[in-house]
């Protein structure tokens, strides 16, 4: 009996050999074969392929590099070690963001076309205005490749071990913030980079005078935080009110079925210590730090509000743990230092 290596493994071998041979046509065909093989592969093959493919990313220019990074992200979703794959993916992302920001900054002021969204075709006449040489080409190619890099990077960043491994958390968010200045929107990548892990949270109930210390991880937005707070505090019998359904809580913890989006009715108005509103549309990073801990005040809801439960990253497990119910005297001391909520969020 002749032993044959699994098809995905052979496809990775063939792609690597094509890169070694420096034959673009052969590499392109090998890449197509690789995508088809990985689509059929099982978890064990994808787990083996992910780190091998990640190690090849820096051998490619921005657009094929992004396409390969997307395959690496798919391998991570299929069981590959996210930490073993993350380094090359995030290095490629960092380089692409750097060049893409430069591309947007150098967009010709006299161009008839407005700056296109990443991934859209750039008109030839605009490319001509950008200048000759490798640098303008690299910037344009990086801009075009951004959707792929975002998809791949998000696939690894939803894993807490990857986020904890980053040594330049300030650089990537800074680049995405500069990019958002041109795009005018927040991306999934921005949200993934904003995730907090093992973050302490002090919560004060203004009406009842109770206080709680919690710890949160992997919560992408304040719709999610609001729902999980109601699940822990109302569902746990610590505060009065109607708790969200178990299905809604599960949807936000990443333990429920992704095809279910049960309705949630708001339980609180979320307020900072200075009285400003903390909007559900924001993220837990919007909650200001007071004396070394993020401090959130719960007021009665100002108006009825409902939304469909569903985590921004359904494949990611989130966590909100109640660690301590404060003694009444301690809760009162904290509440005495916070300001009343401003009207209409102003």
Give tens-digit pLDDT for 236-269: 999 999 999 999 999 999 887 667 789 999 999 9
pLDDT of residue 173: 85
What the block records as the tokens of 270 is 């979320």
Spatial contact of 103 and 142, defined as CB atoms under 8 Å apart? yes
**Could you write out the DSSP letters of every residue in 19-49?**
HHHT-HHHHHHHHHHHHHHHHH--HHHHHHH
Q: What does the pLDDT look like over 299-312, one tens digit per residue? A: 999 989 999 999 99
What separation in angstroms does the CA of 255 have from each of 76, 154, 245, 259?
A: 19, 19, 13, 12
Query: How many residues are there in the chain?
Result: 346
Q: What does the pLDDT look like over 105-152, one tens digit per residue? A: 887 766 666 777 787 777 776 677 676 777 888 998 999 999 999 999
Strand partners, 321: 215
What separation in angstroms does the CA of 30 have from each of 25, 89, 96, 97, 112?
A: 9, 20, 24, 27, 39
Spatial contact of 305 and 289, defined as CB atoms under 8 Å apart? no
Q: For 336-339, which contacts have Cβ atoms below 8 Å and span 24 or more sequence positions?
A: 337/273, 337/290, 338/204, 338/206, 338/271, 338/273, 338/274, 338/275, 338/295, 338/297, 339/273, 339/274, 339/275
Spatial contact of 192 and 155, defined as CB atoms under 8 Å apart? no
pLDDT of residue 256: 72
Average pLDDT over residues 322-343: 96
């Amino acid at each position: 009996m002749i032993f044959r290596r699994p098809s995905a493994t052979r496809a990775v071998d063939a792609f690597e050999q094509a890169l070694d041979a420096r034959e673009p046509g052969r590499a392109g065909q090998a890449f197509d074969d690789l995508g088809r093989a990985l689509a059929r592969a099982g978890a064990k093959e994808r787990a083996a392929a992910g780190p091998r493919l990640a190690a090849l990313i820096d051998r490619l220019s921005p657009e094929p590099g992004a396409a390969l990074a997307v395959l690496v992200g798919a391998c991570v979703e299929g069981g590959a070690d996210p930490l073993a794959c993350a380094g090359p993916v995030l290095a490629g992302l960092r380089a692409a963001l750097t060049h893409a920001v430069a591309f947007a900054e150098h967009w010709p002021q006299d161009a008839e076309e407005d700056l296109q969204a990443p991934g859209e075709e750039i008109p030839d006449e605009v490319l001509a205005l950008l200048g000759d040489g490798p640098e303008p080409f690299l910037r344009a190619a990086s801009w075009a490749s951004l959707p792929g890099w975002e998809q791949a990077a998000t696939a690894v960043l939803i894993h807490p071990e990857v986020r904890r491994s980053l040594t330049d958390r300030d650089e990537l968010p800074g680049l995405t913030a500069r990019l958002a200045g041109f795009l005018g929107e927040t991306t999934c990548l921005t949200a993934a980079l904003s995730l907090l892990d093992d973050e302490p949270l002090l919560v004060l109930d203004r009406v009842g005078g109770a206080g709680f210390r919690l710890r949160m991880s992997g919560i992408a937005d304040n719709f999610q935080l609001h729902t999980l707070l109601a699940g822990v505090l109302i569902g746990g019998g610590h505060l009065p009110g109607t708790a969200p359904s178990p299905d809604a809580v599960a949807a936000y913890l990443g333990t429920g079925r992704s095809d279910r989006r049960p309705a949630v009715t708001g339980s609180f108005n979320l307020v900072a210590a200075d009285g400003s509103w903390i909007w559900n549309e924001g993220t837990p990073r919007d909650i200001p730090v007071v004396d070394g801990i993020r401090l959130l005040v719960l007021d009665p809801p100002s108006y009825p509000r409902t939304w469909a439960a569903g985590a921004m990253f359904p494949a990611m497990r989130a966590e909100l743990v109640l660690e301590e119910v404060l003694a009444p005297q301690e809760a009162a001391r904290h509440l005495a230092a916070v300001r009343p909520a401003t009207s209409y969020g102003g």
